[in-house]
Structure 1
Amino acid sequence: MRKLPARHALLAALATVTLFTSGCSAETGATSPAAAGADGQRPSSIVTPDPGPSRQLPVTGVPDGEPTGVARAGSDGKATKSPLKVASYDRSTRRAVISSTGKATSAPAPAPAVGDVIASGPAPGAPEGLLAEVTDVAGKTEKGTEVRTEPTTLGALLGDDKADGTVPVDPAAVDVEPLVQGVKVSWAKAGNVHVGPQGAKVPLGSLRIDVGASVPLPVTEGAPVSGAVSVAGFVQLAPEVEFSYDGSSALTPDSAFLGLTGDWTSQWALKGRAVAGGKPVRIPFAKLHADPVIQVGPVPVVVNLDLTAYVQVAADGSVSVDVKQDLKGGFRIGGSYSKAGGWKPVSTSDITSTPVRAKVTAAGSVKAALGAEATVGLYGAVGVTADLAPYLRGEASAAATPGSLVGAWKVYGGVDLTGWLQLQLSIFGTPVFEHRIPLGALHREWPLAEGKGIVA
């Protein structure tokens, strides 16, 4: 908890207009707790301390079972670990109760004061973490000191320090909600290996979702696509959170990045007959959620991840397919900030596929994707949304000849990656942008197989 350097004054004006669901608005001045008056108010004679040279902060994960605690700014303007914790938080009133962890320290922890900035891992009432500034001290309670807060920015704690790193997401910490029957979840981490269906070994750090039973398309009158088409297979992910921050420049951070990277592996089969009828059919089959904490020096940064795995099929004509493919590769999505260029989207993928079997008959085309829509945010504020959709596309044509129809068919593999940046990425302490920024559509396609034959 601290009084902010004078270089943040302009940033305060810029960031005041930012609104967030659970926290990120104006960055305001703060005073060191030791210098605050007995009533928790900020003395007008306090002089802002020189924060000294910027530090390179490590970016790491938090070991299992270790509490993330609270970070605050010290009297030197640098973020430090604190023997305090958020005992409770009320999102509707933004009231928090701050108490001591009870751990022995060389000196008792100062009580929270107006202007203090705190960052906490998940806490009662704040499962997505808390990043806030104290605006009023209401008084003592049985559980600690009750304070009123308002949203703030990471720049209020990280200041002119730097950080850069990538942290794997613990697959065991991901909550999975199956949405259809036949979904199975497997994961593996060091020392605690779970084996996937049919004895398939899941690589360390990976989460695997199997659709053990086929996912049929709706067969109802007026359905966009109907028929006996089904999809079965698995998706395997090894996600990592990428975080960087450089506050060495004045006024606003020099650069920042928040994103999701990782390896993607899937194997799935599309089989049956699809009939045209309109828009694509999307069937979600599992929802995933995690709130991993990455430790940026002394500051616990809570990353919020949501992912929905889905099947999507579109048909044009009346097509029969029997296709199976393997896909492997990596992906990287996120938002990158520089003082010169502002916020820019990042979206890359090198996913490629190989066919295991491929056949398309009759006339028309069909496109099926086994994809995932993901969102990445900080402290409950969504920052990046992306839709990663590796797909299969088949097309067939038929020409009449005496006594039969001769058909030619082709099968393609591909990947679509779309999405956008959200306003809430200004939680880093960067200037606000006025509207969502599209990631830009990434589209790649390659031939898998082709053939000719008699069409029934």
Structure 2
Amino acid sequence: MKFSLYVVAVPLALLGTVVPASASFAAGPAGADGGAGGTAPPVLRLTDGPADKAAVAVTRPSPDGSVATVPVGDARLTARGPSGGLVLAPARSPAGNGPGDLAQVHAGDVVAGPTTQDTPHGVLVKVAAVHANGDGSIAVDTVPATLADALGDAEVDATVPLTPGDLKAKPLTSGGKVTAGAGPQGRGVRLNVDVPVPDGVEPTEGHASALSASLDLSPEFLFSYERAHWYGVQPSRARIGMAADYQYGVKVHAKSSASYATGHKPLRIPAAEVNVDKTVWLGPVPIVLSLKVDYFYDVSADGTIAVDAEEHTDGRLEIGARYDAGEGWSALSGPEPVSTATPALITGSATAKGGVGSHAQVGLYGSVGVAADAEPYLKATATAQNTPQGASASWGLYAGLKVNGSFFARLDIFGTRVLDKDWELPPLRYEHKLAGSDV
């Protein structure tokens, strides 16, 4: 997805009430009207989590849709075998959630773990069997679990801003620069790059670079979940994706002598990749949100053309998917971006386009759920004509945004299935004219 992402500086908060870690946290409020004779699910909000941020949570789902917390204190995951089995060890001290008893863990319980050195993408599994060890730890055979197993009946609507400390960029090499904490409001990522151009393309007179771009964005996770047990055993609503406020600038000072197309090539800049595995807590349950973003460029022309133009875009875009039990999955979208341009000079007879975009993968616990490309671009057209009245020429300069994405069935963690192996999200495209011979 192109870093035409946009984020509103939304507080890290959810509507609802605090849920004590020791309580059965998915029992619906008494007398609440959920429609069709049902009970509205409780609203969960983000919490600070345990004092020991490496501690796991163990929950026990019930047939009535409620979920109880199994008191295991600040037990930690200390090993994970090749078959996916876990070893849980008791807390080293009674701090945090207090002492717990691992002997209370039974088959059918759900273990949710945060990101740690041993589990960089976190853990979400259901216990199949428990084996006591002599040192107070337990070995646990597991099978995959879903959020419905861990959260039960609940309603969540979270917007989670990412801080500079959440964003991990690869070491820099020549050709571009990625800086964390340099985006809008000092929270996001800035990319500056001189885009590689094919043979036959060179800068116009007085310019050192044919195509350069900068992209500032402040990403945040979008995450929603709702299930009421009377309605169904799967979530009735869900949302997963990323949003970002972004600022995009592109400078094109290029002339070409032939047709060319780079074909959506990745930028050969190891720094131009951002990875995030961020743990947030809903009640006592750690939810691990995963994000990977890398960059690409796409430059093309279908003839001889020379372009001197610069453009700036401000926008906000939501990239992801929304689920409703009555309607299925649909794509997220946002408002049309706003672009401005400097006076342009375009000559020749061709159409040329250049842009730098991003490919993003968003998921839970390291499992990819949504993948999307977002590409802001600048397009120039020039046409020479010979008519009985003499020679004439027309030209135009356009700012655009393309978003293409897909939703993967393998995000079973959400508890809702997509029938196809992967489902293409409807494409989104904005394009408007900035300048031209008839403007």
Please indicate, yes or no, whether the TM-score normalized by the shorter chain is above 0.5.
yes
Q: Distance in 2 between matches of 1:101 and 1:365?
A: 65
Letter in 1 for 2:141: R
C-alpha spacing 1:55/1:317, structure 2 compared with 1 (3 Å): same
Letter in 2 for 1:252: Q
Question: 1:283-362 counterparts in 2 under 5 A?
Answer: 283-284=266-267, 285=269, 286-362=272-348
Letter in 2 for 1:270: V
2:228 is the counterpart of 1:228: no
* 2:90/2:136 contact within 8 Å kept: no
1:57 to 18, 24, 44: 44
Letter in 1 for 2:101: A
Letter in 1 for 2:100: P
* 2:289/2:363 contact within 8 Å kept: yes
SS in 1 for 2:361: strand
Question: 1:8-407 counterparts in 2 under 5 A?
Answer: 52-53=27-28, 54-59=41-46, 67=53, 69-74=55-60, 77-80=66-69, 82=72, 83-90=74-81, 92-104=82-94, 107-111=99-103, 112-140=105-133, 144-177=137-170, 181-188=174-181, 203-211=185-193, 214-219=194-199, 226-228=200-202, 230-248=210-228, 249-274=231-256, 275-277=258-260, 280-284=263-267, 285=269, 286-399=272-385, 406-407=392-393
* 1:347/1:439 contact within 8 Å kept: no
* 1:408/1:451 contact within 8 Å kept: yes
* 1:396/1:409 contact within 8 Å kept: yes
Q: Choose between structure 1 and 2 for higher RCO, CA contacts under 8 A separated by at least 6 residues.
A: 2
* 2:112/2:125 contact within 8 Å kept: yes
C-alpha spacing 1:50/1:177, structure 2 compared with 1 (3 Å): closer
* 2:247/2:314 contact within 8 Å kept: yes
Q: CA deviation at 1:89?
A: 2.1
Letter in 1 for 2:85: R
Q: Distance in 2 between matches of 1:344 and 1:103?
A: 47
Q: CA deviation at 1:74?
A: 4.9
Q: Distance in 1 between matches of 2:321 and 2:55?
A: 27
Q: Distance in 2 between matches of 1:172 and 1:338?
A: 34
C-alpha spacing 1:349/1:283, structure 2 compared with 1 (3 Å): farther
Q: Distance in 2 between matches of 1:247 and 1:113?
A: 24
C-alpha spacing 1:50/1:371, structure 2 compared with 1 (3 Å): closer
Q: Distance in 1 between matches of 2:316 and 2:275?
A: 20
* 1:87/1:143 contact within 8 Å kept: no
Letter in 2 for 1:103: S
C-alpha spacing 1:75/1:255, structure 2 compared with 1 (3 Å): closer
What residue is the counterpart of 2:207 in the other structure? none
Stretch deviating more after TM superposition (67-76 or 386-395): 67-76
Number of positions where the alignment pairs a residue of Structure 1 with one of Structure 2: 382
Q: Distance in 1 between matches of 2:52 and 2:313?
A: 37
Q: Distance in 2 between matches of 1:320 and 1:395?
A: 10
C-alpha spacing 1:178/1:439, structure 2 compared with 1 (3 Å): farther
Q: CA deviation at 1:430?
A: 2.0
Letter in 1 for 2:326: A
Q: Distance in 1 between matches of 2:433 and 2:299?
A: 19
Q: CA deviation at 1:132?
A: 0.5
Question: Deviation per CA, 1:112-152, whole angstroms, max 9, x where unpaired?
Answer: 33222111111344211110012223442669322221211
Q: CA deviation at 1:446?
A: 0.6
* 2:237/2:324 contact within 8 Å kept: yes
Letter in 2 for 1:237: L
Q: CA deviation at 1:422?
A: 0.8
Q: Distance in 2 between matches of 1:308 and 1:106?
A: 42
C-alpha spacing 1:79/1:268, structure 2 compared with 1 (3 Å): farther
Identity %: 29
Q: Distance in 2 between matches of 1:426 and 1:218?
A: 42
1:410 to 376, 396, 409: 396
* 1:385/1:421 contact within 8 Å kept: yes
Letter in 2 for 1:206: G
* 2:60/2:108 contact within 8 Å kept: no
Please report the RMSD computed on the Cα atoms of aligned residues, expressed in angstroms: 2.9
1:443 to 422, 429, 438: 429
Q: Distance in 2 between matches of 1:209 and 1:405?
A: 43
SS in 1 for 2:150: helix
* 1:87/1:124 contact within 8 Å kept: no
Question: Deviation per CA, 1:170-214, whole angstroms, max 9, x where unpaired?
Answer: 2222111367624223333xxxxxxx5xxxx85232221222xx2
SS in 2 for 1:347: coil
Q: Distance in 2 between matches of 1:310 and 1:60?
A: 37
Q: CA deviation at 1:399?
A: 3.4
Q: CA deviation at 1:51?
A: 6.3
Q: Distance in 2 between matches of 1:358 and 1:94?
A: 59
Q: Distance in 2 between matches of 1:155 and 1:71?
A: 15
* 2:25/2:68 contact within 8 Å kept: no
